[in-house]
Structure 1
Amino acid sequence: MSRPPLYVRRPFLAGLLRQLPLLAVLVVVAIGLLLVTFEHWRWGLVVLGTSLVGAALLRLLLPVRRVGFLAVRSRAVDVVLLAGAGVTLAAVALAIPAT
């Protein structure tokens, strides 16, 4: 006797597992925002930019059924926008002179 798939047996758990890539990105974003909150704004923004680049890599490498809500548009558009925004944010944060 075969068991039904996880999304039938436990739909909440299956949905949560599908969103793990997004959850990982959001955890890194939260760490970056905490750094900004505690006045380490430069490193916080670099962490935020890194999280966007990581999201781009996840979107590029994971199959559609595993990527969850990181898939918004086509794969190419998502990767270009996420990576571009991440690199730009980190570069601008590092380019601002320290006072």
Structure 2
Amino acid sequence: MITVTGRRRWTQEIGRYTPFGLVLAIAAAGIGLIFAYHWRIGSGLIGGSLLVAAALRVLLPERQLGLIALRGRFTDVILYGGLGFLVVLVAATIIGGPFDH
């Protein structure tokens, strides 16, 4: 028999990993697009997933972050945001591609 306390614990754990699941789903969609030879859009999605992680790190409290919170808040936001911005910039500015001849 599941008690109310057990349900709260279960929903809290699901809620705790939802932000990471969102970031992972965006990155997985990007990888899928890369494998479908849409490498620029896929790379942009991977960079976008890092930007989403940075935004979630700023907006959500510590108890809801789950696996997104790796270091201190400032360090995570700078690293996620900086790397995400660079990946999006590179994806947007490269001419040609690995499959062009």
TM bracket (short chain) = 0.7 to 0.9
Question: What stretches of structure 1 move > 4 A for 4+ residues in a row?
Answer: none
Could you say which residue in structure 2 is the equivalent of 1:91? 89
TM-score (norm 2): 0.85
40, 43, 48: which one aligns with 2:46: 48
Q: Percent identity?
A: 37
Give runs of aligned pairs for residues 30-41 of structure 1, distance below 5 A: 30-41=28-39
Could you say which residue in structure 1 is the equivalent of 2:25? 27
Opposite residue 73 of structure 1, the aligned amino acid is R
For residue 63 of structure 1, report the CA deviation from its aligned partner.
Answer: 0.3
CA distance in 2, matches of 1:65, 1:48: 25
For residue 93 of structure 1, report the CA deviation from its aligned partner.
Answer: 1.3
Query: Structure 2: where are the runs of 5+ without partners?
Result: none
CA RMSD of aligned residues (A): 1.4
Opposite residue 48 of structure 2, the aligned amino acid is T
Query: Structure 1: where are the runs of 5+ without partners?
Result: none
Could you say which residue in structure 2 is the equivalent of 1:80? 78
Could you say which residue in structure 1 is the equivalent of 2:5? 4
How many residues end up aligned between the 2 structures?
93
